[in-house]
Amino acid sequence: MNKPIKILQITDLHLFGDQKSKLLGLNPYNHFKKVIKSIADNFATMRPDLTIFSGDLSQDYSLQSYLTVKECCKIFDTKVTFIPGNHDDQAMLHKILNSLHDKEFDFPNWRILLLNSAQAGQVTGFLTAKELDFLEKTLAKNPTKATLIFMHHHTLPINCHWLDKLGLTNADAFLNIISKYQNTQNENRFSRIAQVASSLGSVLDTHDSNKRRDRKIDMDAIISNGEGYIKAVVCGHIHQESNQRYLGVDFLSTPATCWQFLPQSPKFKLDSAMPGYRWFELYSDGTYKTYVKRLEYDEKMVPDLNSGGY
């Protein structure tokens, strides 16, 4: 098998213009610096071919927060791209980080698509007609090419009531397009999977908070070939690691570089799990491996678990 394509996902930095500012009992900038150091320290064995920041780079919409990201990204010697989140000033993000036209990245046997689910003044996500049209036309150009799709908001419910109200509001339109580009012989099975997933709407995550807190590495790697040509849909926004299968597609979320939300909580609740980021290794036969790498547990990095929101 050929050398895999390596994709790095970093998400939900929530930086302030003032690098000393704190929120929920922690300093987002200090956490982000430690994440960047962790990545750089492992460049000898894991160096990305593409790095994707999947939204909420800023907490205060400040120019300085985006300049901080730009400065920290100097460690990368390959392409870095950025998707806006609901906390971002989209115009400023694209101006400072020069990512407005980054929508599609083609590699041998693989392509990466970036969708903008952020809408000005709204916490929820929405894919405009322009975004959906781009998605469908791009998939139609080469419908059998293995594909990863990244956006900020989560598509499927994660059994976390307060967050599930803040996901992608037109998920049905997105999923209708996705369903067209899978193996036709699996169509009936996808329909059954969809019905089951819809009735459950839960996260396939067997790691409780204590296990996440104590382990020094992370959840075991997922090795997947998908069941169609769209292999995975990947998001940030929900500040937790999750893995679901729906329509033959893996739906994945990645921990934030700052605070984490407690999985499967009906209301806002912070978690003691450490910040993290996600790696993908894409193979020429259409299979891929993905895993989350977290920082080692440090009690000083735990947010104020009694916080009621922000």
What are the pLDDT digits (tens) for 133-161? Answer: 999 999 999 999 999 999 999 999 999 99
Q: What CATH number should be reported for the domain holding residue 159?
A: 3.60.21.10
For the segment 270-299, the average pLDDT, to the nearest whole number, is 97
Confidence of residue 215 (pLDDT cuts 50, 70, 90): very low
Within-domain flag for 98: yes
Confidence of residue 101 (pLDDT cuts 50, 70, 90): confident
- Please state the pTM of the whole predicted model: 0.89
Give residues with Cβ within 8 angstroms of 137, minimum separation 6: none
Where would I find the H helices in the chain? Answer: 28-41, 63-72, 90-97, 129-141, 161-164, 171-180, 187-200, 209-214
Task: For the beta carbon of residue 108, count every other beta carbon within 10 angstroms.
Answer: 8
Give residues with Cβ within 8 angstroms of 15, minimum separation 6: 28, 29, 32, 57, 58, 59, 65, 68, 69
pLDDT at 227: 67
Looking at the chain, the whole-number percentage of residues with pLDDT higher than 70 is 86
Confidence of residue 15 (pLDDT cuts 50, 70, 90): very high
pLDDT at 224: 67
Q: Has residue 55 got a pLDDT over 50?
A: yes
Within-domain flag for 94: yes
Within-domain flag for 26: yes
Say if residues 5 and 292 touch (Cβ distance below 8 Å): no
Expressed as residue numbers, the domain containing 51 is 5-301
pLDDT at 115: 98
Give residues with Cβ within 8 angstroms of 73, minimum separation 6: 51, 80
Counting the structural domains of the chain, the total is: 1
Within-domain flag for 28: yes
Within-domain flag for 108: yes
Within-domain flag for 306: no
Q: Has residue 183 got a pLDDT over 70?
A: no
Within-domain flag for 310: no
Within-domain flag for 184: yes
